[in-house]
Amino acid sequence: MDNTKTFTKNGETRSTLDASAVLKNFKFPLVDLSDIAHAEWKGIFFDSIITEYDARRLYWHLEDQYAETFPTLTDVLIPWLRDEIDHAYGFALIYSSFTGIPLDQVILEAEIRKPDFTIINPIASDAFKLLIMLAYDEIITTHVYHRSIAKYDQFDSEQLSNWIRKAKKDEARHFISFVQKAKSLFPERTTETRSILDEIFNLDFEKSSYTGTFVLDHNTTDFPISKKEIKDMIIPAIVKKFNE
């Protein structure tokens, strides 16, 4: 039985509500956190803002640098971008309420960073590799949000609980859309999937810091999914999906 609900806004049908609905009039619940826990959550919420916010930077980079192939991907990139902008806004609302920092200042902090796409250009220049890289990133984020559900539920806030589930559902949908697009455009190349994922994985863990690229931001000591799990669990799951 399919329990998926759909919502229509401005003529567009979507499977999850926007942040403006899920987090309408949101106020962070009164919670007693230690200084360490407060600092950890502050970091989690801000990291969530910037990684989601940077989707627009990646979109503009692809549009500017790869004009020949970009139009063939807009049917999946535009819905993806719309959701990622919505995620960034939602996490910004949460972070602002949690810290007391005004929302416009939070958005400014996200905006003034400078991205560097040098490391991903060899992948992004090949549309099939790009779609695999996006699928790789989206399924990892899906797992991160799935593991976060129990932690969000501890705040005893229906809005926070609904929010993290909405974000997880969106990311899972993006993963499927990128896989389907790659298979439809390049059916003859699916046998390359594992080797391309190995290339992407190596790039991901060569980077010493995040450079505002949206993708390949998993090589940090506090990232909630280990390098081994990505290699031994997530990559084989992606390959399997391409072989279905």
Q: Evaluate if residue 1 carries a pLDDT over 70.
A: no
Q: Read off the pLDDT band of 4 (50, 70, 90).
A: very low
Encode pLDDT of 113-139 as tens digits.
999 999 999 999 999 999 999 999 999
Task: Please state, in angstroms and rounded to a whole number, the distance separating the CA atoms of residues 212 and 223.
Answer: 16
pLDDT at 196: 98
Helices and strands (DSSP H and E) totals, the chain = 11, 2
Cα end-to-end span (Å), the chain: 22
156: region left, alpha or beta (phi > 0 left; psi from -120 to 50 alpha): left
Q: Read off the pLDDT band of 9 (50, 70, 90).
A: low
Q: Evaluate if residue 64 carries a pLDDT over 80.
A: yes
